Amino acid sequence: MSQNWMRHFELKLLDRDDEEIQLNDFKVTFRIDWRDDSSPVVADVKIWNLSDNLCNRLMKKEYSQMTIVAGYDGGGENEEEHNYGTLFSGEIRFAVKGRDDLKDTWIQLQAAGNYSAWIDMTTETTLAGGHTVADINRLMMRDFNTRGITQGVTGAMPEVVYPRGRVMMRPAREQMDLVAEMCAATWQMVEGQLRMVPVDNYIDNVVELNGESGLVGMPQLTLNEQVNVKCLINPNIQLNSLIKLTKNKVYSPLPASMKLDGKLPEKTQPGPESPKPGIDGLGEYIVRAITYKGDTRGSDWYMEMTCEAKGDKQPLGWSSQ
């Protein structure tokens, strides 16, 4: 069983000659945003007091790839106690440098996962009449394979047969948006895999969360029946996978309509409607958005998630990384 102590952190940069450097021992802050849509995962990283030579190389875009590994080492050499993994891997888009004072300098990098494939890949092909959505997806994956992107976890596709031919000449991301729409799904490129998960499914991987396993504070129920959850960094929690809240209550914030100048009204007013079944603070929730925040010299080392109740949604098989 993993233990959430002894932080683990790796920041790896790769240059165009595939030479790697690691900046694990510097003061580093990072924020990684992972949303349930086709836009790339984005990482903003700030590093303090690098050498002038390295800063200049970064500013000249000599380094093109960034990988962030984070989590916890646990209590010893036993690998079962380790709980760290890759949170982000992507292409460096730009760098900005500055200083806090006469002593401390910094450089800030922004990177995006599979950015070049997302921004500049185009699809130019045709399909004869009698094709299906699976045929379209197969052709799309042929293009993505040229960028090293393989098929990840994918939901079922409709069996509709299209009698007319189809011309596909558009950015690949727009074509994949159409495929996902046909499948009532969302898609993302994550660590070299293209995942497409229908809105009525989830990735069949569950992590139990409570005060003993890394939950921070009290989950909050929003007025649109989502649940905001904060926990220590746990790379086993993935977008569209499950968390299971145990031994907790969910805090429901007071609607703005029931506040007056920051005070409770003197007269009793009707409360908000009871949430739908499944939103009860305990049970399983699907993760729909993740933001990681870390500071190697500070207190930040957590992830914030927006989740929704699993309800009657069905699992997909888990595609291991």
For 91-113, what is the mean pLDDT? 96
Residue 1 lies in a domain: no
Question: How far is Cα of residue 27 from the mean position of the Cα atoms in its chain?
Answer: 23
Q: Same domain for 151 and 220?
A: no
- Specify the DSSP element, H or E, that contains 124: strand 122-127
Residue 245 lies in a domain: yes
Residue 2 lies in a domain: no
CA distance 272 to 303: 29
pLDDT of residue 254: 43
- Bridge-based pairing state of the strands 28-35 and 283-295: antiparallel
For 196-210, what is the mean pLDDT? 94
CA distance 70 to 31: 12
Assign 247 a pLDDT band (cuts: 50, 70, 90): confident
Query: How large is the greatest C-alpha to C-alpha distance in the chain, in angstroms?
Result: 70
pLDDT of residue 252: 54
Residue 224 lies in a domain: yes
Q: 156-164, long-range: CB within 8 Å, 24+ apart, which pairs?
A: 156/183, 156/198, 157/132, 157/133, 157/182, 157/183, 158/132, 158/133, 158/182, 158/183, 159/132, 160/132, 160/133, 161/130, 161/131, 161/132, 162/129, 162/130, 162/131, 162/132, 163/129, 163/130, 164/129
Query: What residue numbers bound the domain in which 177 lies?
Result: 120-191
pLDDT of residue 74: 82
For 250-276, what is the mean pLDDT? 43
Q: Same domain for 107 and 140?
A: no
Q: Same domain for 164 and 253?
A: no
Among 140, 159, 191, identify where a domain stops.
191
Q: Same domain for 88 and 137?
A: no
- Bridge-based pairing state of the strands 83-99 and 105-112: antiparallel
For 270-281, what is the mean pLDDT? 44
291 has pLDDT over 60: yes
pLDDT tens by residue, 44-61: 999 999 999 999 999 999
Q: Same domain for 309 and 280?
A: yes
106 has pLDDT over 70: yes
Assign 251 a pLDDT band (cuts: 50, 70, 90): low
pTM metric for this prediction = 0.86
pLDDT of residue 221: 87
CATH of the domain at 82: 2.40.10
pLDDT of residue 77: 67
Q: Averaging pLDDT over each range in 134-138, 218-222, 265-269, which range is the top one? A: 134-138
pLDDT of residue 40: 95
CA distance 262 to 116: 48
Residue 76 lies in a domain: yes
CA distance 90 to 65: 6
Residue 246 lies in a domain: yes
Q: Same domain for 91 and 135?
A: no
pLDDT of residue 260: 38
Instruction: Provide Rg for the chain, Cα atoms.
Output: 22
pLDDT of residue 120: 92
Q: Same domain for 310 and 231?
A: yes
Assign 264 a pLDDT band (cuts: 50, 70, 90): very low
Q: Same domain for 15 and 69?
A: yes
Among 162, 191, 220, identify where a domain stops.
191
The pair phi, psi for residue 58, each rounded to 5°, is -65, -40
Q: Same domain for 50 and 147?
A: no
pLDDT of residue 248: 58
Q: Same domain for 130 and 227?
A: no
Mean pLDDT of the chain: 88
b/e per residue 199-233 (b: at least 16 CB within 10 A) = bebbbebbbebeeebbbeeebebeeeebbbbbbbb
Assign 4 a pLDDT band (cuts: 50, 70, 90): confident
- Comparing 7-16, 182-191, 255-264, the range with the smallest average pLDDT is 255-264
For 70-96, what is the mean pLDDT? 88
CATH of the domain at 304: 2.40.30
Please count the structural domains in the chain: 3
Residue 282 lies in a domain: yes
Among 169, 191, 213, identify where a domain stops.
191
Give the side-chain half-sphere CA count within 13 A for 53.
0
Looking at the chain, list the stretches that DSSP marks H as alpha helix, in order from N- to C-terminal side: 52-59, 115-120, 133-145, 172-182
Q: Same domain for 109 and 18?
A: yes
321 has pLDDT over 70: no
CA distance 271 to 287: 28
Residue 196 lies in a domain: no
Q: Same domain for 17 and 37?
A: yes
Percent of the chain topping pLDDT 90? 77
